[in-house]
Amino acid sequence: MIQRKDINILLVDDRSENLFALEKLLKTPGLNIVKASSGNEALSLALEYDFALVLMDVQMPDMDGFETAELMRGAEETKHVPIIFVTAINKEQKHVFKGYESGAVDYLFKPLDPDILLAKVNMFLELHRQKLALKQANESLGEANRKILEQQKSLVEEERLKVLLQMAGATAHELNSPLMGLIGSIEMMELERDNLDQLYIHADNAKKAGERISEIVNRMQNIRRDETVPYTGDFQIIQFDQKVKVLSVEDNVADFARLKEILDTEESIELHHAHDLKTTFSELEANSYDVILLDHVLGENTGEDFLKEVAPKGIEIPIIVITGQGDEILASRMIRAGASGYIPKRELSRSILIREIQQAMEKTRLQKEVRLVQQKLADMSTRDGLTNLFNRRYFNEVLEREFSRSERYGTTFSLCMMDLDFFKNVNDTHGHPAGDKVLKETARLLESSFRKGDVVCRYGGEEFAAILQRADVEEACIACEAFRKAFEKHTIEHDGARLQLTVSIGVQTYDKKRTKTLEDMIHSADKALYKAKNSGRNRVMGNI
């Protein structure tokens, strides 16, 4: 279980009364507030603590907030800590821009609106909690993750491996031509070093080849490996020219033109336009987008109307609100409604917009990773690592539930216990990798042989089990016999060897008179299995 720890936040101000006021406003259980009265003290504390957020005054003696923020951005340990400037002076636009350029994520003016401050602080605290949760969840996977990687049972890791292999091939192919051109030009320069005209030609060719290599490397560095495109067969490959797809929801043509002008120089961003909510939802159904830039006033509708409709539709795209109203109360409401960020139109600039887009996408990525880790943890608690069938723990839970239901409502179900015949010989003769392959193939056949509502599991070792809902002993035996025949005919190839095995199966159907307890039912199914084994194996026996 993930342990919740206190989250650290740093307050930096040379006036003790300001520090006291901020601390009183922000103090809540689980939040450790650290205070610094100078830039130098703040830098020292930033190396000592893991801060979720820094609230910093701009005007301080010796070292002001801008200088402190730039130094924090330059240090590897602190470069990702978000900084919000809080100031009563320096309200001019040039100071605001300077604040953002020094690395701040926001700029607030005193007197502070408590609701706005708390909304912004809580957003960064939640992001930090998600980072901590992801880190702890990853740590908790530990040895289990290592085994999953070794067995290549994690679909995520398998796809990543395919992607990287495809990327390696594509990279080698793309780099080969300019590299050969560069090497050839250098060799020609050595051969014709006395011919000045030829040297210029070869130098120019070498420069072009170098520029081509630089371009390829730059594209590789900006690859988003989570974004792939389908390829022939089951492969997914990296698309080298990936772009961030941004949808601007803006009913003002002039404002969209300004936004387009700001982003036109960004080759990595592909900007699209929707002028009302109806068009927006049509776009979202037809295409996938990475970020939505949402105007608040949209004809008869508002951005809040859009946010109310987003959640029920399951749309998980980060939304940045851009509005000309500049109302911080409005910003607080929009963030609470689900927006990832907020920018007044009067503050729009390339640096601010790019930073907001990057932060919104990073937050969404972290949220998805947290959910993925949580899903992996849930799967690990109910799935067998080798076969990906349900494990015995989950099987016992379902068995108890089915038994209780049958006792209460008089319904029926069947329990099937299965054991691979002479499986030990496979391991002894061909090795454990061959045995693992047999178990995985058995699992695949089991899943395809029974109904979707039936629960199939790996019971332990070479033993498997199935719970067949609303099936009497005759129906259960027919289903198990079909699987037995399919398994007997199935050939498993391993290192040139062709392996064919058989399976023995025992079936017990719920009977109110004969199976008084769940233990009775399991014992009866086991008894039927032993009967099948002792009768010559490769058969289905029902304990009637």
User: For the segment 493-540, what is each residue's pLDDT rounded down to a tens digit?
Assistant: 999 899 999 999 999 999 888 788 899 999 999 999 999 999 999 999
Tell how far CA 34 is from the center of its chain.
32
C-alpha–C-alpha distance, residues 24 and 9, integer Å: 13
DSSP state of 312: G
The predicted structure's pLDDT at residue 112: 78
Which H/E stretch holds residue 465? strand 463-469
331 pairs with which residues across the strands? none
Give the per-residue pLDDT at 272: 92
Please tell me the distance from the alpha carbon of residue 415 to that of residue 480, in angstroms, as a whole number.
Answer: 11
Task: Look at residue 375 in the predicted model and tell me its pLDDT.
Answer: 67
List, as own/partner pairs, every contact residues 535-540 make where C-beta atoms lie below 8 angstroms and the sequence separation is at least 24, other chains included.
Answer: 537/421, 537/422, 537/502, 537/504, 538/421, 538/484, 538/488, 538/502, 538/503, 538/504, 539/484, 539/504, 539/505, 540/477, 540/480, 540/481, 540/484, 540/504, 540/505, 540/506, 540/507
Contact in structure between 144 and 385 (CB atoms under 8 Å): yes
From CA 536, how far away is CA 538, in angstroms rounded? 7
Are residues 271 and 283 in contact, defined by beta-carbon separation less than 8 angstroms?
no
Residue 374, φ and ψ in degrees, nearest 5: -60, -40
* Residue 281, pLDDT score: 87
Q: How far is CA 298 from CA 255, 279, 358, 366, 490, in A?
A: 12, 12, 25, 30, 63
Residues 51/105, Cβ–Cβ less than 8 Å: no
| DSSP structural state of residue 88 | S
| pLDDT in the model for residue 4 | 47
Query: Which strand (E) or helix (H) includes residue 432?
Result: helix 432-449
The Cβ of residue 478 has, within 10 Å, a number of other Cβ atoms equal to 11
Residue by residue, pLDDT tens for the chain (544 residues) are: 334 467 899 999 888 888 888 888 888 888 899 999 888 888 888 888 888 899 888 888 878 888 888 888 888 888 888 888 887 776 667 767 777 777 777 878 777 778 888 888 888 888 888 777 777 666 666 655 555 445 444 444 455 555 555 555 555 556 666 777 777 777 777 777 777 777 778 788 877 877 777 666 655 544 444 444 443 334 333 344 467 899 999 888 888 898 888 888 888 888 999 988 888 888 888 888 989 998 878 877 888 888 888 877 778 888 988 877 656 677 777 778 888 888 888 888 888 888 888 888 888 877 777 676 666 665 567 888 899 999 998 899 899 999 999 998 889 999 999 999 999 999 999 999 999 999 999 999 999 999 988 999 999 999 999 999 999 999 999 999 999 999 999 999 999 899 999 999 999 999 888 788 899 999 999 999 999 999 999 999 997 6
pLDDT at 11: 92
pLDDT for res 116: 81
